[in-house]
Structure 1
């Protein structure tokens, strides 16, 4: 599963990297223009939307790289029995969360690009449906791992509590 998710995060990172350099509206190619080699929409009425688009793609790219690094860390792990207790589940949840955030920002950048280019689309309905599906997939993939981590921590703390009460009883009997 990790290999497939690593490929997905690499593809999302690649899409965001390409989107940063292929700005909606294009680049001003008129050599006589004072805004030569700058984005056409940057000095227009769509400047705020263009900056939002660039911010969304930048955050999406950053979180895709974080997810990729976390998945490479899982892949290069020693896979000792102690690693399966908390280290690998925590890395998996962190990687999946970073991948979800990257996907959310990439999708938001896509809808912002539609808004910049004046594509007539019911953005609120489509974004709501898209984010609902993404959250369902995320919780479906992470639920069992989070459930395991909860019970492992709960058992660990309850065992330590019993261990502490046994040592306090032994100390009380010595005096």
Structure 2
């Protein structure tokens, strides 16, 4: 089974993305989406460095809830900064110490930080123990570090490393 369906969770996700991109739920698009969702993981299997293992897949829902809420709030905050004009912004770089060791989890944390408006992952240390994050407007760097660790890193650690 694993040989013919190497990433069973990825297949329906790719099919759903296909349907959303085509803005159609017709039978033909569904069949094509499922075919692509099956074929893409199968033909790219050699490029995956390791098999993805989720320790607690339902923790992904908590992670997504925090992420989507933070993206919404950050968009409103950045929009306010743009519309009001540049007041005394407090841009800052902070080094977030990482407890994560799983490469996929670290990558997701870095990408989550980049996808949240107002913050950007700038660099991962060579030993993968620190993530350098730039914040557009931050008055309390320690609060930013705590937010990233509790809202994003902790759920990712639950999902991938427990």
Flag whether TM exceeds 0.5 (same fold): no
Higher helix share: 1
Larger radius of gyration: 1
Q: Which has the higher strand share?
A: 2
